[in-house]
Structure 1
Amino acid sequence: MSATRQAIVEARRLVVKVGSSALTTAGDGLDVSRLDALVDALCERIARDCQVVLVSSGAIGAGLAPLSLAKRPRDLPSQQAAASVGQLALAHAYAESFGRYSLTVGQVLLTSDDVVRRAHYRNAQRTFDRLLALGAVPVVNENDTVATEEIRFGDNDRLAALVAHLIGADALVLLSDVDALYDGDPRDGATRKIAEVNGPSDVDGITVGMSSSGLGTGGMVSKLAAARTAAGAGIPVLLASAADAGKALASADVGTAFAAADSRLSARRFWLGYAADPSGVLKLDDGAVTAVVRRRRSLLAAGITGVEGDFQAGDVVDLANPAGRVVARGVAGFDAAELPELIGRSSHELPAEQRREVVHADDLVPLR
Structure 2
Amino acid sequence: MRDSLRGAGRLVVKVGSSSLTSADGGALDVDALGALVDVLAARRLAGDQVVLVSSGAIAAGIGPLGLTHRPTDLATQQAAASVGQGALVAAYQAAFARHGLSVGQVLLTADDTTRRRHWTNARRTLERLLDLGIVPIVNENDTVATHEIRFGDNDRLAALVVDLVGAGGLVLLTDVDALYDGPPSQGGSRRVPYVGTSEDLDAVTIGGTGSSVGSGGMVTKVEAAGIAGTAGAPTLLTRLADLAGALAGEDRGTLFAPAAATTGSRKRWLAHATTARGRLVLDDGAVRAVTERRTSLLPAGVTDVVGTFAAGDPVDVCAPDGRVVARGLVTYSSGELPRMLGRSTKDLARDLGPGYEREVVHRDDLVVL
TM-score tier after normalising by the smaller chain length: 0.7 to 0.9
Q: Indicate yes or no: 2:28 matched with 1:24.
A: no
- For residues 264-323 of structure 1, the C-alpha deviation after alignment (integer angstroms, 9 at most, x for no partner) is 544432332222221112345666555434543333456556543233443211124566
- 1: distance between equivalents of 2:290 and 2:3? 33
Residue 350 of structure 1: how far off its partner (Å): 6.0
Q: How does 1:61-100 map to 2 (within 5 A)?
A: 61-100=59-98
TM norm structure 1: 0.87
* 186 and 91 in structure 1: CA distance in 2 versus 1, 3 angstrom threshold: same
* 110 and 347 in structure 1: CA distance in 2 versus 1, 3 angstrom threshold: same
Q: Indicate yes or no: 2:11 matched with 1:9.
A: no
- 2: distance between equivalents of 1:321 and 1:200? 24
Q: Indicate yes or no: 2:275 matched with 1:277.
A: yes
Amino acid at match of 1:163: V
- 2: distance between equivalents of 1:212 and 1:324? 30
* 329 and 37 in structure 1: CA distance in 2 versus 1, 3 angstrom threshold: same
| Contact 2:25–2:212 under 8 Å retained in 1 | no
* 62 and 7 in structure 1: CA distance in 2 versus 1, 3 angstrom threshold: same
* 286 and 17 in structure 1: CA distance in 2 versus 1, 3 angstrom threshold: farther
Paired position in structure 1 for 2:54 = 56
Q: How does 1:144-159 map to 2 (within 5 A)?
A: 144-159=142-157
Q: Which deviates more from structure 2 when the two are superposed, residues 334-343 or residues 33-42?
A: 334-343
* 312 and 140 in structure 1: CA distance in 2 versus 1, 3 angstrom threshold: closer
SS in 1 for 2:258: coil
Paired position in structure 1 for 2:244 = 246
Q: How does 1:1-368 map to 2 (within 5 A)?
A: 2=1, 5-25=2-22, 26-203=24-201, 207-251=205-249, 253-262=251-260, 264-284=262-282, 288-289=286-287, 291-300=289-298, 304=302, 306-321=304-319, 324-336=322-334, 357-367=359-369
Q: Which deviates more from structure 2 when the two are superposed, residues 51-60 or residues 23-32?
A: 23-32
Paired position in structure 1 for 2:353 = none
- For residues 26-85 of structure 1, the C-alpha deviation after alignment (integer angstroms, 9 at most, x for no partner) is 254111111111112212222331100000001111111122211001111211121122
TM norm structure 2: 0.86
Residue 257 of structure 1: how far off its partner (Å): 2.2
- 1: distance between equivalents of 2:289 and 2:192? 32
Q: Which deviates more from structure 2 when the two are superposed, residues 16-25 or residues 294-303?
A: 294-303
* 89 and 312 in structure 1: CA distance in 2 versus 1, 3 angstrom threshold: closer
* 351 and 134 in structure 1: CA distance in 2 versus 1, 3 angstrom threshold: closer
* 121 and 106 in structure 1: CA distance in 2 versus 1, 3 angstrom threshold: same
* 149 and 128 in structure 1: CA distance in 2 versus 1, 3 angstrom threshold: same
- 1: distance between equivalents of 2:359 and 2:190? 45
| Contact 1:342–1:350 under 8 Å retained in 2 | no
| Contact 1:235–1:264 under 8 Å retained in 2 | no
Q: Which deviates more from structure 2 when the two are superposed, residues 57-66 or residues 278-287?
A: 278-287
Amino acid at match of 1:131: L
| Contact 2:318–2:325 under 8 Å retained in 1 | yes
- 1: distance between equivalents of 2:10 and 2:120? 18
Gaps of 5+ in 1: none
SS in 1 for 2:327: strand
- 1: distance between equivalents of 2:126 and 2:31? 27
Residue 190 of structure 1: how far off its partner (Å): 4.7
SS in 1 for 2:325: strand
Aligned length: 363
Amino acid at match of 2:294: R
Amino acid at match of 1:364: L
SS in 2 for 1:16: strand
* 260 and 294 in structure 1: CA distance in 2 versus 1, 3 angstrom threshold: farther
